[in-house]
Structure 1
Amino acid sequence: MAGVPTFATAPGFLGRPFSDSGSTYTVAGIPLDIGVTNRAGARAGPGAIRVASRMLVDGEHPHFWTDVAAMPIADIGEFEIALGDLPRSLALIEEQAAPLAHLIALGGEHGITLPLLRALRSRLGQPVALIHFDAHVDTWDDNFGQVYGHGSVFYHAINEGLVDPRKMIQIGIRSPVQREIWDWTIGQGVTILSAQDVHDMGVAAVVARIHEVVGTATPTYLTYDVDCLDPAFAPGTGTPEVGGLASWQTQAILRRLGGIPFVGMDVVEVLPAHDVSEITALAAATVVWDYLALLGRAGA
């Protein structure tokens, strides 16, 4: 990338040209948003995240000193979906994710996580531990009659044995929720840290709790819904909730998750039509960048 100004960076993630095959770390966009319950438009999220990632190409990660742009990363473009057909889209996503060793998915709505977890369960032969940043628990049994709406992802993931709920932690929760949904989630063994918990506990205590819950022995998946951030830091999302985390808080947490055996991640619910100056897209791109830097450091 030497000599190429930021504004002229190639359109793939971190300036990668698009590839027909995966690599050690494979980036794919999943432009699905037909299961959302409020603002639509997250189908444009992958492209916006890629464009914002141009800000992260020129130099090493200042915490890990990892040259993320030099890591073995391939951007394979967008997954195929079935327009207007949610169950078929989920099946297509699972099929396309299955052969990819370490997938980093750019959403799209949070519904994409369910087929990605299904693919991991089939490949690994066991449920994964889960670190889940979000404003919402996403454990409703349906969303306004839609069984596979984006707020039902982890209801299905738990019931299908895709995740071990005793090794699942949700961070940033603060939306309105029926008490029976909350009680069901806790009753499955899930640990919930509300946004207020994060503010009160501080980063070090949150990190300690994450490590305590997920441990180091179970393959672990990271799912990051940008609405975990306060709308001041992420206005471009479909279901914003006030009182959320600041960008620096999630960055500080992510950078302290060394030793966890990550097997994949996604960042979801970026909605460019409601974004301001790309701040939401840049936050999402930076989450992926921090994740890759963490893995690059761990593998060094």
Structure 2
Amino acid sequence: MKNVNQMIKEPGIWAGLNRPGISLEKADAVVFGIPFDGGVSFRAGAKEGPQAIREITYTIAPTTERWEDLSDLQILDLGDVEGKDRDELFLEAEQAAYSIVKSGKLLTMIGGDHSTTIPVLRGIDRALNEPFGILHIDSHFDLCDEIGGDPLSHGSTERRALELKNITDTESIFFVGVRSVESEELQFINNNKMNIIGAAEVRKKGVENTLHKIKEKMGRFNNIYITVDIDALDPAYAPGTGTPQFGGLDSRELLDLLYGLFELPVIGFDVVEVAPKLDDSLLSAFAARKIITECWGHHNRKERNITGTYR
């Protein structure tokens, strides 16, 4: 098994799109991992997600499901952030996110549990001088002030986001696919204006209506960040995650949602909570790989004004 330092030096990673050693300025998208799962409240294993996802990117073609060629895309994999403890790890992640956003490149982070999104959002907040929006695609709200005494838990991601200077109100976040709520979160939601489309509503109203509602609310932002918890998918499509929830999005719904969401000014995205050891078939890792490469395709299409073979 290759370690991360070996993999990121090889051009064969990420469907042959990795460009080892290129400058940040020459990259189209920059990816890094945060192998941390110390913020979980139940089953661990997400710290192994970044390596497991990278390991299955050698054999795929540099194309999208819409038959677009990505071979000219310049991907720079920075590897995994490191630190002797969570504080140091999160500071490194925050700085990486800050630098990528400042450079104007598409930020891609692979977690790690959902707490790893917290330092990324902090880095984005530092890099921007205006409000930004967050699309939170997840089975959970992650609005708990703390879990088990930990304010940086994977269930507190968006509560911490609401403390950022450029997240100006509760409607700056749009929750998609949610189908589980803690008592504390329910009280918070009932007392604040929130943007929410649960998994059941996506199924009932369809992807196009869902996208219309999201764009209507989030169109006010010049910068959007998308965070995808793999448990937004029904466990049938992604069983390898710490807190799976029955009744989720199916794979087609999620892919079509992401296709439409990239019509918004997306500056970055992440995929978190992939726990390979909880899934012998690695379905969750394969799902994450697909999400990442398709999102790169959406970004590439928009940047180069490309129309796919089919829509």
For normalisation by structure 1, the TM-score amounts to: 0.88
Amino acid at match of 1:58: A
Q: Distance in 2 between matches of 1:147 and 1:87?
A: 13
Distance 1:20 1:295, change over 3 A: closer
Measure how far apart 1:245 and its partner are: 0.9
Q: Distance in 2 between matches of 1:126 and 1:73?
A: 27
Q: What does residue range 234-253 of structure 1 map to in structure 2 within 5 Å?
A: 234-253=238-257
Q: What does residue range 89-128 of structure 1 map to in structure 2 within 5 Å?
A: 89-100=89-100, 101=103, 102-128=106-132
SS for the counterpart of 1:299 is helix
RMSD, aligned CA = 2.0
Measure how far apart 1:79 and its partner are: 1.1
Measure how far apart 1:89 and its partner are: 2.5
1:110–1:269 Cα contact (<8 Å) kept: yes
Amino acid at match of 1:92: E
Amino acid at match of 1:13: W
- Give the number of equivalent residue pairs: 287
| Structure 1 residue corresponding to 2:286, chosen from 279, 282, 286 | 282
SS for the counterpart of 1:125 is coil
Q: What does residue range 172-251 of structure 1 map to in structure 2 within 5 Å?
A: 172-178=177-183, 180-185=184-189, 187-215=191-219, 217-251=221-255
| Structure 1 residue corresponding to 2:133, chosen from 109, 129, 135 | 129
Q: Percent identity?
A: 33
2:19–2:75 Cα contact (<8 Å) kept: no
1:40–1:238 Cα contact (<8 Å) kept: yes
| Structure 2 residue corresponding to 1:273, chosen from 271, 277, 285 | 277
Measure how far apart 1:213 and its partner are: 1.6
Measure how far apart 1:162 and its partner are: 4.3
What whole-Å deviation, never above 9, does each CA across 1:31-68 have from its counterpart, x for those lacking one?
0111111111111100111123345x3253232x4323
Measure how far apart 1:73 and its partner are: 1.1
Measure how far apart 1:250 and its partner are: 0.2
Amino acid at match of 1:177: E
| Structure 2 residue corresponding to 1:296, chosen from 281, 300, 311 | 300
2:141–2:181 Cα contact (<8 Å) kept: no
1:129–1:214 Cα contact (<8 Å) kept: yes
SS for the counterpart of 2:245 is coil
Q: Distance in 2 between matches of 1:147 and 1:262?
A: 27
Q: Distance in 1 between matches of 2:62 and 2:90?
A: 37
Is 2:165 aligned against 1:171?
Answer: no
Amino acid at match of 2:147: N
SS for the counterpart of 2:78 is strand
Q: Which runs of 5 or more residues in structure 2 are unaligned?
A: 1-9, 305-311
2:137–2:232 Cα contact (<8 Å) kept: yes
Amino acid at match of 1:167: S
Measure how far apart 1:131 and its partner are: 0.9
Measure how far apart 1:151 and its partner are: 0.5
Amino acid at match of 1:93: A
1:18–1:77 Cα contact (<8 Å) kept: no
Q: Distance in 2 between matches of 1:177 and 1:11?
A: 43
1:33–1:108 Cα contact (<8 Å) kept: yes
Q: Distance in 1 between matches of 2:249 and 2:15?
A: 25
What whole-Å deviation, never above 9, does each CA across 1:203-236 have from its counterpart, x for those lacking one?
1111111111211642000100001011111111
2:65–2:294 Cα contact (<8 Å) kept: no
Q: Distance in 2 between matches of 1:21 and 1:185?
A: 43
* Structure 2 match to 1:12: 13
Q: Which runs of 5 or more residues in structure 1 are unaligned?
A: 1-8
Amino acid at match of 2:55: V
* Structure 1 match to 2:7: none
Distance 1:38 1:20, change over 3 A: farther
2:81–2:89 Cα contact (<8 Å) kept: no
Is 2:156 aligned against 1:155?
Answer: no
